[in-house]
Structure formats: C-alpha cells, structure tokens
Amino acid sequence: MAREIQDHWFKEAKRQGYRSRAAFKLIEIDDKRRILTKGRRVLDLGCAPGSWTQVAAQRTAPNGIVVGIDLQVVTGSFRGSPVHLLQGDAAELSDETLEELGLDPSSPFDVLLSDMAPSTTGSRDTDHYGSMRLCNLVLDLAAMRLSSGGDLIMKMFEGPGSKDLLERARSMFETVRPAKPKASRSVSREMFIVCLKRSKSIAVDHIRDELAGGPPPLTGGWGS
C-alpha cells in the first residue's frame, strides 16, 4: 500500500507536468494556509529541481515574482509569474545580485520557501544536525530577506534540536504550525513548519556578520 501511494504522487507529478512529487507537498500546505497569493514576491531557497518554483510561479501570477536559488543548475521555463534562477549559495545572496535581476533589494520578499536538506553522510545523527543547522540558516535569512508580516514554509526533520528550532521560529513569527503533507514518504522523518506573519522587531546585524563569515553551503531539495 505504501509503495502504491508513493507511485501515485510520482505519476501525478508526471501527468501534471511538475518536476517532482514535492510539488504536491507545497500545494497541500498552500491550499490550507493561502500563502502564495497573487502578486507576492517569493524567494525559493534550494529550489532544485524546480517543483516548488513551479507552484509558486503559478499561484502568484500574474504580478508576482519568484527568485529560485540552488547550488545545482536549474533550467527550463516556468508558467505564471516571472521566475529568476540563480546558481549559488543562498546564504551569499547579495543586494548586488538582486539589483542585477532588476529587483529592489530594499523591498524584502513576502514569502520564503525552503525544501532544503543537507548532503547525506549515512550517519543519522550527523545528517539530522546538518538539517537543523540549515533550518537555522533559513531563519537567519528570514530575518534579513523577509518582509514584516511575511511568511515562511520550511522543511525540517524531527529529532534532537527540533524543539529549540520551533521555539526560535515562534520568537520570530506570530504563528508557527507543523504540517505533514500526504505526499511525504511514509518512512521519512521530514515535516514542514509553516511560519506566518514575521515580527517587525528582529535584530539582523549580528546575523549579517555571521553569514559574511562563510557558513556551510546550503544544498537543494530535489523533491525527497
């Protein structure tokens, strides 16, 4: 039965033209929370292979903007709002790069998306703490790049450190809710946290300094 369910999402992605089954995770979350509304500016962290970017472009059309960034090259066309694709480390996204895309860096994004996961080592503990560090870096970026009142959808893995991560998210957002989409693999420890309405008062100077020091690269999601 589990294999049949997984095959269902894979086949549906092919049938509907999505780049991976991960699209349905975002669709289910957004159907409930209504985050990707028309005209919103979206930053998709670790966007490869592009399925979340597809969903964001479709749902924010016609006047939204989606910027996707990943260490991997992401190519192809996207229907809906304009999409800008960048290859590189999301932690190093600069104002200059946004200006080169024709975007005003003083205008923060309305939505941050992250389906990122660390490169796996085979060690459950190592991989878990790698994921926790990625999630904290995403929150750092939310403090810097997300508008007051903006929203975040982020993948995390349940385990040690999860409680502290959720507490940090709650200190930054008005509402934080867990989500376990039906398209997630039954054996996966992944879950998603939906963070709504970023607080106005978040200190970012020390975060900018830490990121400038060279954090480990953020890796793409690839629809796990």
Any idea which residues carry the catalytic annotation? 155
C-alpha–C-alpha distance, residues 106 and 95, integer Å: 8
Give the closest residue to 43 by CA, choosing from 30, 56, 31. Answer: 56
Residue 162 φ then ψ, to 5°: -60, -40
Tokens standing for 135? Answer: 């999630």
Strands of the sheet with 146-157, listed across from one edge: 83-87, 65-70, 41-45, 109-114, 146-157, 190-198, 173-179
Confirm if 189 and 158 have CB atoms less than 8 A apart.
yes
Reduce the DSSP state of residue 214 to 3 states and report it.
coil
**Vertex 36: Cα angle to 194 and 219 (nearest 5):** 60
